[in-house]
Amino acid sequence: MKNIILLAPPAAGKGTQSKLICDTYNFIHISTGDLLREEVKKETSLGLELKAKMETGKLIEDSIVIDLLKNKLEECKNSDGFIYDGFPRNIKQAELLDEILRENNSKIDEVIYLDLDYETAKNRIVGRCSCTKCGEVYNTLIDMQKPKKDGICDKCNSSLYKRNDDNEETFKTRFEVYEKETKPLIKYYENIVKKVDSTKDTNMVFEDIKSILGEPK
């Protein structure tokens, strides 16, 4: 069983690549957001407690996340591998994860760092807009992805809209959080981390990831 961590700034395609990896290698996707939401959905006493915390925007303690993670690993122990997405978020969590894996005679096998510079990441997010009708996605700051007519969908002629939080201010904050929290993890995993250039298109990035992970079984 393989344990793989993906580290990436916003807009590097982490979600897409996680999905491609899981589909190709038959790995289980582990995101703490999903673990928490699953527990809330089950309406256990912990789930109800979490729901209240999440609704008031309170931080969820590491110990809870760790317990949910342990359960998930136990539940899926026969899987071929795990992709950790958005976890660990800091050194403390990385140490806790190492500890859990060690208890299971396991370890982190690969850390893949989807490298993307600030400008490219910003353009991908700030320029993004989509069609109100068919959902087609465009980007006004990337030549290949611009609509032919400003503000109009090429496919169905409906108008395009931008999400409120796709602005430079919000992006800057997200990127700063990433730099503060994720950069130290690159150092933490320096002996196993492998960098992939994420300015390339989705398929090429995935080819690079496959060359790191090897042929699927």
The Cα 73–Cα 32 span in angstroms is: 12
Q: Which of 41, 58, 149, 163 is catalytic?
A: 163
Q: Is 102 a residue of the active site?
A: no
Measured CA distances, 209 to 84, 99, 137, 217 (Å):
15, 26, 25, 15
Please, which residue, 8 or 131, has the CB nearer to Zn ion? 131
Q: Which is nearer to Zn ion, 48 or 156 (CB)?
A: 156
Q: Exactly one of 2, 19, 51, 89 is catalytic; name it.
A: 89
CA 151: distance to chain centroid? 29
> Residues in the site for Zn ion, rule: CB under 5 A?
131, 133-134, 136, 153, 155-156, 158
The nearer residue to Zn ion, 133 or 200, going by C-beta atoms, is 133
- 174 is annotated as an active-site residue: yes
Instruction: Tell me whether residue 170 is exposed, middle or buried, using C-beta atoms within 10 angstroms of its C-beta: 0 to 12, 13 to 18, 19 or more.
Output: middle
Token pair recorded at residue 198: 């994420």
For residue 10, is the peptide bond before it cis, meaning its omega torsion is within 30 degrees of 0? no
Minimum CB separation of residue 159 from Zn ion in Å reads: 9
Active site residue 163: yes
In the residue annotation, 89 being an active-site residue is answered as yes
What's the closest the beta carbon of residue 96 comes to Zn ion, in angstroms? 45
Query: What is the strand order of the sheet 110-115 is part of?
Result: 28-31, 81-85, 2-7, 110-115, 193-197
Question: Residue 152 Cβ, how far from Zn ion at the closest point, in Å?
Answer: 9
Give me the least distance between CB of 119 and Zn ion, in Å please: 28
Residue 91 or 134 with smaller CB distance to Zn ion:
134
53, 146, 174, 194: the catalytic one is 174
89: number of Cβ within 10 Å: 16
Active site residues: 14, 89, 128, 163, 174
